[in-house]
Amino acid sequence: MTNYVAFNAQHAINYINSLIESNQYDFFKPGQALTAYEFGDGNLNLVFRITDEQNNSIILKQALPYARCVGESWPLTLDRARIEAEVLLNHGAICPAHTVTVLHYNKDLALTILEDLGDLQILRTAQNNAEQFPNLSHHVAVYLSQTGFYNSDFYLLAQDKKARISQFTNPELCQITEDLFFSDPYTKHERNNYPAQLQTEVEAIRKNGALKLEVAKLKANFLSNPQTLLHGDMHSGSIFVNQTTTKMIDPEFGFFGPIGFDIGSFIGNLLLNYCAQHGRIDDFVARRNYQTHLLSTLVECYATFEQQWFELINKQTTDETLKASGYAEYFMKHVLQDAIGYCGIELIRRTIGLANVIDIEGITDEAARLNVQKQTLALGEQLILNAHTCDTKDAFFSLLISHLN
């Protein structure tokens, strides 16, 4: 870390100019007057937009040696910038249509330069405004199935996969996930964040032995099941969209883990927004119409995800043993059950853990917000408890509908 310095806007401009002057990269034409501003609103990093005189722009993202949302009391490794860049390069080679493009990476400065997706919207913001994206479900399913399959045992030689597992070992950020997802919400911890009026529901979760047993199983699976190279943070703030395009960003939590984790996180965020609309859209018909759209997105996404996996397994599997009749169905049943469990984990941890979501926190009516929080906790609990009963996606959708209102 001897060459590391945390950037400000002028640092960002100077760095880009140094790359241009040394003919390393041609982001902009030489001699252009550049402007930059920092606009990162995430929990961990600095993010700058650098623009030239013709309004061409790129994004410079730099890791800080601590969690930005907490401060220097929570130190973090800068190696997460390498993980993020290399996950993006890996996923981008497999699925370039839905992965943000890496233009440059500097390990010493823990920074990555990326294409600017400023003409797209962050999915979370758009969904909080009740906007619809007809291609979202298909695009996410294609991204997760393709990047998942081509980094799995079905496709990679055993030695190649083990080398990649080593390459993407990400202990510090995995520890954050392990704590925030699977531990903190089920204990009394200073990082948890929820209103006092929710204490009865929180205590009931912490005393539910059956629930905590299923959470333990999900955590053990997360810890010890390196099925594929995950994005690791597939929430709606990590997705940029418009009517024709979907791009994934920010995989700094990437590592080799269970396939169901990413798809479970994504559908969990759809359900968080579904529940939040009870406190966001007053008109019953308008609210039901948008919630129906969210459910359709969820159903179509998982159905396409599963279909894509079966097609890839049938056509692209390189391991003869894994071609055994019935194994694909066995494998995907367990992916589905994992996904349902991790979906429930996402609902609970986003409600009472450290990283609450603006979908719910942005509800201005306190009583309505509290009712939404109670619903997300109850739904998350039921999904975790009943995930093992769902042998098919239709069983999952039936379970889901039975616990939504």
* pLDDT reported for residue 69: 62
* pLDDT reported for residue 369: 98
* pLDDT reported for residue 75: 84
Residue from 71, 85, 64, 109 nearest 250 by CA: 85
* Per-residue pLDDT of the chain in tens (405 residues, 90 and over written 9): 468 999 999 999 999 999 999 988 888 988 889 999 998 765 678 999 999 999 999 999 999 988 766 666 778 889 999 999 999 999 999 999 999 999 999 999 999 999 999 999 999 999 999 999 999 999 999 999 999 999 999 999 999 999 999 999 999 999 999 999 999 999 999 999 999 999 999 999 999 999 999 999 999 999 999 999 999 999 999 999 999 999 999 999 999 999 999 999 999 999 999 999 999 999 999 999 999 999 999 999 999 999 999 999 999 999 999 999 999 999 999 999 999 999 999 999 999 999 999 999 999 999 999 999 999 999 999 999 999 999 999 999 999 999 996
- Phi and psi at 95, nearest 5°, equal -135, 70
* pLDDT reported for residue 26: 86
Percentage of the chain lying above the pLDDT 70 cut: 97
End-to-end CA distance of the chain: 52
Question: Residue 115, annotated ligand binder?
Answer: yes
**What are the structure tokens assigned to 258, written together?**
């269970």
Question: Residue 323, annotated ligand binder?
Answer: no
Beta strands of 237-291 (E only): which ranges? 239-241, 246-248, 256-257
Q: For residues 338 and 19, what is the distance between their CA atoms, to the nearest angstrom?
A: 45
Residue from 133, 125, 131 nearest 98 by CA: 133
Question: Residue 400, annotated ligand binder?
Answer: no
Question: Residue 251, annotated ligand binder?
Answer: yes
* pLDDT reported for residue 40: 74
pLDDT in tens, 334-391: 999 999 999 999 999 999 999 999 999 999 999 999 999 999 999 999 999 999 999 9
* pLDDT reported for residue 2: 62
Query: How far out from the chain centre does Cα 185 lie?
Result: 19
Helix (H) or strand (E) holding 74: strand 71-75
CA angle 394, 350, 64 (to 5 degrees): 125
Whole-prediction pTM: 0.94
* pLDDT reported for residue 340: 98
Question: Residue 233, annotated ligand binder?
Answer: yes
Percentage of the chain lying above the pLDDT 90 cut: 91
Q: For residues 405 and 402, what is the distance between their CA atoms, to the nearest angstrom?
A: 8
* pLDDT reported for residue 68: 67
Cβ atoms of residues 118 and 50 within 8 Å: no
Question: Residue 366, annotated ligand binder?
Answer: no
Q: For residues 9 and 6, what is the distance between their CA atoms, to the nearest angstrom?
A: 10
* pLDDT reported for residue 70: 65
How many residues belong to the chain? 405
Question: Residue 193, annotated ligand binder?
Answer: no
Question: Residue 23, annotated ligand binder?
Answer: no
Q: For residues 359 and 277, what is the distance between their CA atoms, to the nearest angstrom?
A: 8
* pLDDT reported for residue 181: 97
Question: Residue 393, annotated ligand binder?
Answer: no
pLDDT in tens, 273-288: 999 999 999 999 999 9
Residue from 151, 123, 144, 108 nearest 261 by CA: 144
Question: Residue 252, annotated ligand binder?
Answer: yes
